[in-house]
Amino acid sequence: MKRVITYGTFDLLHYGHINLLQTAKQYGDYLIVGLSTDEFNLLQKNKTSYFSYEKRKQLLEAIRYVDLVIPEENWEQKINDVKKYNVDTFVIGDDWTGKFDYLNTESGVEVVYLPRTPEVSTTQIKADLTMLKKNIWAKIFRMDEKIKWKNKLKFVVL
């Protein structure tokens, strides 16, 4: 059985994540995902996820390509994980190109960097939703102003 491992936060799960997981699974028969814990995100990756670790884990475990989800608690655990889980191939997006080559030199595991899905990201989703919320509030404010003016004009005409 060929075992593959990858790592990430996988917040606001989207089709870029699914593309990565689907392709990663093609490198073996068993896919392990090291899922960044909330503490690791906050303290070392400098990001907070919308969904908690437990919710993100639940989502990943529902994906047919994923066989096991383990916590990613620090940057250093990968070399131990690949040995502990007898991993053949480490896979991650090419935004990390070169960062994990040491796993091959130190443990012989194959290291594969896959092309990211360019047009989607959790950061962009969050930014778009924030903009949408601002636009909606601005429209509500403008409508409210219009109603106030109409009411004022009603009194003046009367």
Q: Of 24 and 88, which CB lies nearer to ligand C2G in the complex structure?
A: 24
Over the window 87 to 116, marking each residue x when it contacts ligand C2G by CB under 6 A and - when it does not, the resulting string is -----xx-x--------------------x
- What is the maximum span of the chain, computed from C-alpha positions, in angstroms? 86
Q: Which of 12, 20, 59, 109 binds ligand C2G (CB under 6 A)?
A: 20
Q: How far is the CB of 5 from ligand C2G (least distance, A)?
A: 11
How many residues touch ligand C2G (CB under 6 A)? Answer: 17
- Residue closest to ligand C2G, measured at CB: 93
Give the active site residue among 2, 25, 45, 134: 45
Distance CA 138, CA 133 (A): 9
Q: Which of 3, 5, 8, 111 binds ligand C2G (CB under 6 A)?
A: 8
Query: Nearest 5°: phi and psi at 70?
Result: -120, 155
Terminus-to-terminus CA distance in the chain, angstroms? 84
Instruction: Tell me, yes or no, if 47 is annotated catalytic.
Output: yes
Q: How many residues does the chain have?
A: 158
Question: Within 13 Å, how many C-alpha atoms sit on residue 145's CB side?
Answer: 6
121 binds ligand C2G (CB under 6 A): yes
60 binds ligand C2G (CB under 6 A): no
Instruction: Tell me, yes or no, if 146 is annotated catalytic.
Output: no
Q: Which residues contact ligand C2G by CB under 6 A?
A: 7-10, 16-17, 19-20, 36, 72, 92-93, 95, 116-117, 120-121
The residues that are catalytic are 45, 47
